[in-house]
Structure 1
């Protein structure tokens, strides 16, 4: 079974950016594209209702026009992509989480509120990143076509949470025929202990060596599986946030792993991932640690 790339459609500028990113992803991997508009109007006063109100009928026509426009947009830019659309009688969050169960990836925009719109992660995007069982690609800005943005950057955290993200990044780099930058940050110990006269090597050097070893562990399997991908190892002193944002500034995609748990209790979206999603200058893919083989 070929799983589609799924994107939520609501007619906003953020949605249009997500549609463009999703179409690129579908074309790149030769996957179908599924456009989904979630509308609670359809649940209560759908087109099959015998007593459909004029307001509900207008809403349905408006939604259909939004989907038709999105479909035409994809067919105009990517005529080879098999695109389908559907109006789903649910709220957007529930609909896209359900769609994510049978998607190769979900692509979403990022909408904020108030005077700093675009700097805040929208509630639907936040929920998808926290809970979706497939990779979620968040597109904050219009897709660029700069000379340096064909590279892909993947951040390596804990080995367990990074393996799926690293494999995803290698697949993307292979499909895009671009180099992959594998990044691991390290920092000096906050308090340096008094050195023993029989011990050699500085704490900082030990931290750097540990970071390099962890990066090699994360690369071991993927590098053998994708021998044609040019890999640049980056082991840099600094905070993970600053290192990732610096390398993402000229990249086409930043990939992060997510150590999600199964069941109703999920890890909160906070700290590094949340801040990266708010400020990265390129699309960000968040990949759950447990990822089915057939997904993108």
Structure 2
């Protein structure tokens, strides 16, 4: 794996080469494939609720035969006082030592439960909402833990770190809820993917087929439809049977090309009349994985227009992977190094100190 200076040098070279648009158009398809194949699985850990995500990430890294990178974002808390915003009165050495212990415990747990996986880790200074998207740029998958809030309806997901990061990450994001997010044998060997026929779900369908092939699992593709509304004052609308037939044709077309690429994956389609969030949560109940696409909307636009992916992440009882539109297809070449800083240990990055293991 590359050190931080090496990665900065590579990005500088990429920026210089890809400033030539003709060269960029020729080489980007190859680099996209290489990035998706060669990156590590990255998992974010924090105090409490991270163990299911850690186990799930280790199992996924073993399936993909990729290394696992464990990241803990260490953000200095701020407090308000009459004179302005000042750092909280917390001993930095005690905070750093606690972060190192947390990381060391996570690494030890992975080595105990998945000894075949090459695992490394870092404590990275900065807010998780900035650290994790930066880490995702070189990853094939980012894994996060999540706590479900039973007081909130899944149709009104609100805001949370996993939903925020999923909208900005540079790779697919897996959200593993506690307590039933561990990759157990009790869950069905079945992958479910939501399809709406738009361009942003094509990557999600491809990801779902590849995941099902890797796991030796069956795939269920779900498309929800609603009857046409009248187009004018005369209440002219297509009959429900016509709309349903069009929905079936759309779903068959969306999965047809991937069936040809993965002929060994058993795939069945479900066309459901009703709300897409409810349809996906029902179809994904008990499944090993639920895959949804995302346009990557953020802030007010996502709140006003809504997001099926955000709602599914908030309501699903099992692991959900959000594949953002353009994920793995438009790397941020020349973006430069992240402004987050690492806690120095005198050792190469991604290698924990002996006292943390």
Structure-1-length-normalised TM-score: 0.83
Other structure's SS at 1:19 match = helix
Report the Cα offset of residue 55 of structure 1. 2.0
Report the Cα offset of residue 54 of structure 1. 8.9
Other structure's SS at 2:91 match = helix
- Aligned-partner Cα distance in 2 for 1:186–1:121: 25
Contact 1:39 1:88 in 2 (8 A): yes
Name structure 1 gaps, 5 residues minimum: 43-52
**Cα distance per residue 1:20-50 (max 9 Å; x no partner):** 12112111111111101111359xxxxxxxx
- Structure 1 counterpart of 2:23: none
Other structure's SS at 2:163 match = helix
- Structure 2 counterpart of 1:33: 68
Query: Is 1:111 aligned to 2:152, yes or no?
Result: no
Name structure 2 gaps, 5 residues minimum: 1-34, 78-88, 332-357
Distance 1:234 1:117, change over 3 A: closer
Query: Alignment RMSD, CA only?
Result: 3.1
Query: Is 1:268 aligned to 2:302, yes or no?
Result: yes
- Structure 2 counterpart of 1:173: 212
- Aligned-partner Cα distance in 1 for 2:175–2:325: 17
- Which of 68, 84, 101 is residue 120 of structure 2 equivalent to? 84
Report the Cα offset of residue 111 of structure 1. 3.5
Other structure's SS at 1:151 match = strand
- Aligned-partner Cα distance in 2 for 1:57–1:242: 48
Query: Is 1:237 aligned to 2:273, yes or no?
Result: yes
Report the Cα offset of residue 76 of structure 1. 1.2
Question: Mapping of 1:156-235 within 5 angstroms?
Answer: 156-191=195-230, 203-235=239-271
Contact 2:166 2:296 in 1 (8 A): no
Query: Is 1:138 aligned to 2:172, yes or no?
Result: no
- Structure 2 counterpart of 1:5: 41
Other structure's SS at 1:249 match = coil
Distance 1:187 1:54, change over 3 A: closer
Report the Cα offset of residue 116 of structure 1. 4.2
- Structure 2 counterpart of 1:288: 324
Report the Cα offset of residue 130 of structure 1. 1.1
**Cα distance per residue 1:86-132 (max 9 Å; x no partner):** 0111111110010011111111112367x849976663212211111
Aligned residues: 277
Report the Cα offset of residue 81 of structure 1. 0.6
Report the Cα offset of residue 82 of structure 1. 0.7
Question: Mapping of 1:54-65 within 5 angstroms?
Answer: 55-65=91-101
- Aligned-partner Cα distance in 1 for 2:323–2:242: 29
Structure-2-length-normalised TM-score: 0.70
- Structure 1 counterpart of 2:16: none
